[in-house]
Amino acid sequence: MTSSLGLDDVTRLERDNSPVNRESAVTKIGQLMAEGRLQGAEAAIAEDVVVRMANDADTLVRAALAKQIALYPLLPSGMAERMARDVAEVSVPVLQHWPDLSDDLLLSVIAEEVETKQVAIAQRQTVSEQVSGALIDTGNSSVVSVLLENEGARITADALQKALTDHQDHESIPVLVAKRPNLTAETCLHCVSLVVADQLEADVANEMRRFLVSQEHLPEEMASELVAHAREQAVAEMAAQEADDSKVEEFVGVLQRAGRLTPTMLLRSLCSGDLRFVRMAFARLAKTTEDHVAAAMEPGNGDIFKSIYDSTRLPKSLRPAFGAALAAAGEEAARAGDGSLEPQRYVPTVIAGIVGAYGTVAPAELEHVMAELSRELKREKEEALDSRAKMRI
């Protein structure tokens, strides 16, 4: 521990007023102040010395002072602000610990684009939503990681979404987002969808599931369902964005071998306008050609599509849903001509058709309808298993 300032220190300063000796003296004074060991006149004299030292021309002296008094609450705010704007060696302790720095000052320091200063601000005991947003806007993964780990940082849902989008390939940021308190369900799903094809998929999915169960008090089954839907949505989006048909066809094969060409994924792709993925998937599942499937998907060829659908071994109970989606997509394709489909124009028609075909499905957003169809499929499987079990008895 640093000893108290004594006569030897004063004598040394008188003989040699070098930066090293000034650093030693200011370190001792700063520690005495921070520990509250100076009272009355002594404290006033020490504060005067510290204010003078804060303007010292040598960085070594100012840095030593900053380390000692960053937590000291009674120094003039103007001095703290000057030190916060100083070079990194001086400003970092103040930026991290001084409690009364304004958001405007912090934002101006962030704009300097000095990583060590940004990290110090991200580590503050409390960080406002505005400052958190500015830190995420830096695009610096080191800064963003530190901020996400800070439980005292308030971060908006939009800022979390940006952190995910900007750092979707980072090894830990998706996991850190998943651990944030008060995470919205939308952000939960987005987090999983962004990392669905990454090495971290399993880890993040498990983290999301634990979050949904423990913090949102959702049943484990419902949490798993949300994660599964997010995976399907991400896969559908990835396939739609790939321009190379051969790569998509290869991707379809991988999904089939993994048992992940689920009926809800195919229905989701059909509703999103990715007819290419649907044609390739049905061709594989039905062991036919893509041209045959394409012809069956044309308006007026419902019987041919029914035959192809039945040969895929997809659940027959979902055939009306595919029929509704196919009809709506066909109408939109005729309207679009050579242009691209606009799913937002025909998804309401799909939902209306599904609601009309299934008495158990309520009109809602597409994701909600998908969830209800998934639960319907699960009930059918359970009933079929129960029926077979009874027959064996």
Q: Is the Cβ–Cβ distance between 277 and 269 less than 8 Å?
A: yes
Distance CA 255, CA 270 (A): 17
pTM given for the model: 0.49
Say yes or no to pLDDT of 210 above 70: no
Q: Is the Cβ–Cβ distance between 103 and 128 less than 8 Å?
A: yes
Amino acid at 214: S
| Residue 219 three-state SS | coil
Say yes or no to pLDDT of 112 above 90: yes
Read off the pLDDT of residues 224-237 as tens digits, 9 standing for 90 and up: 666 666 667 767 77
Bigger pLDDT: 54 vs 286: 286
Q: DSSP string of 136-185?
A: HHT--HHHHHHHHH-TTB---HHHHHHHHHHTTT-SSHHHHHHTSTT--H
**Placement of tokens 């499929």 in the chain:** 377
Among 194-203, 253-262, 282-291, 323-332, the range scoring the smallest mean pLDDT is 194-203
Mean pLDDT of 135-152: 95
Distance CA 209, CA 188 (A): 9
Model confidence at 72, pLDDT cuts 50, 70, 90, reads low
Model confidence at 11, pLDDT cuts 50, 70, 90, reads very low
Distance CA 141, CA 148 (A): 10
What six digits make up the tokens of 90? 């001086």
Say yes or no to pLDDT of 292 above 90: yes
Mean pLDDT of 130-153: 96
Model pLDDT, residue 61? 62
- Each domain of the chain, given as residue ranges in start order, spans 1-94, 248-392
Say yes or no to pLDDT of 287 above 80: yes
Say yes or no to pLDDT of 118 above 80: yes
Say yes or no to pLDDT of 85 above 70: yes
Say yes or no to pLDDT of 391 above 60: no
What six digits make up the tokens of 11? 């004598």
Radius of gyration of the chain (CA): 32
Distance CA 236, CA 202 (A): 18
Say yes or no to pLDDT of 335 above 50: yes
Nearest in space to 187 (alpha carbons), one of 169, 203, 211, 206? 211
Q: How far apart are the first and last CA of the chain?
A: 80
DSSP state of 2: P
- 292: Cα within 13 Å, side-chain hemisphere: 15
Helices (H) and strands (E) in the chain, counts: 23, 0
Model pLDDT, residue 256? 85
Among 89-98, 104-113, 166-175, 220-229, the range scoring the smallest mean pLDDT is 220-229
